């Protein structure tokens, strides 16, 4: 192989980024034999279908990596965040997950997640500058023992 280049492409297309994701996924499966993968996408929509909140993540290796949970500003404080989180937890259980992990920032939702049984297992101070990133997890109970 000749003329290899390293190029920064912050706006790369989905086809190119999929090559990286798929390559790493194949490596992970070969190393662990955990072959099940499923994206998670749960939305809060209004009657016109507009997205006003949602939860996004990935199930792999028996865990849900909850990447995003967001509710539009005018709807916050009305229980939609809890409902989205519970829906993500239910989906994770249905897919056989033993737990969920996520990252939240100090100015985001640490106390929100703690109210629902998530615990901090690591912190990264000054990310971003002046704030702390919290890495949180929750072990899932079975549907039968859930309150």
Q: What is the pLDDT of residues 71-100, one digit of tens each?
A: 999 999 999 999 999 999 999 999 999 999
What is the pTM (predicted TM-score) of this model? 0.86
The whole-number pLDDT of residue 97 equals 97
- 64 close to 100: Cβ distance less than 8 angstroms: yes
Structural domains of the chain in order of their starting residue, each with its CATH number: 36-139 (3.40.630.30)
The whole-number pLDDT of residue 98 equals 97
- 105 close to 133: Cβ distance less than 8 angstroms: yes
Query: Which regions of the chain are under pLDDT 70?
Result: 142-147
The whole-number pLDDT of residue 146 equals 46
CA angle 76, 102, 123 (to 5 degrees): 105
The whole-number pLDDT of residue 144 equals 46
The whole-number pLDDT of residue 143 equals 54
> What's the helix, strand, coil split of the chain in %, to 5?
30, 35, 35
The answer to whether the Cα torsion of 19, 24, 29, 31 is positive or negative is positive
Task: Classify strands 37-45 and 51-60 as parallel, antiparallel or unpaired.
Answer: antiparallel
CA angle 99, 122, 33 (to 5 degrees): 45
Cα–Cα distance between 26 and 44 in angstroms, integer?
32
Neighbours of 134 (CB within 10 A): 22
């Amino acid at each position: 192989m000749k003329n290899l280049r390293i190029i920064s492409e912050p706006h790369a297309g989905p086809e190119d980024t999929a090559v990286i994701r798929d390559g790493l996924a194949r490596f992970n499966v070969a190393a662990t034999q955990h072959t099940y993968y499923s994206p998670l996408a749960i939305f809060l929509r209004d009657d016109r279908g507009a997205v006003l909140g949602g939860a996004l993540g990935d199930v792999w290796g028996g865990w849900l990596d909850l990447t995003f949970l967001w509710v539009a500003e005018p709807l916050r404080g009305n229980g939609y965040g809890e409902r989205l989180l519970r829906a993500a937890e239910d989906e994770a259980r249905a897919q056989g997950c033993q737990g969920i992990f996520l990252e939240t920032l100090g100015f985001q939702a640490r106390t929100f997640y703690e109210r629902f049984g998530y615990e901090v297992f690591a912190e990264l101070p000054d990310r971003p500058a002046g704030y702390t990133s919290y890495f949180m997890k929750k072990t899932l109970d079975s549907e039968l023992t859930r309150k």
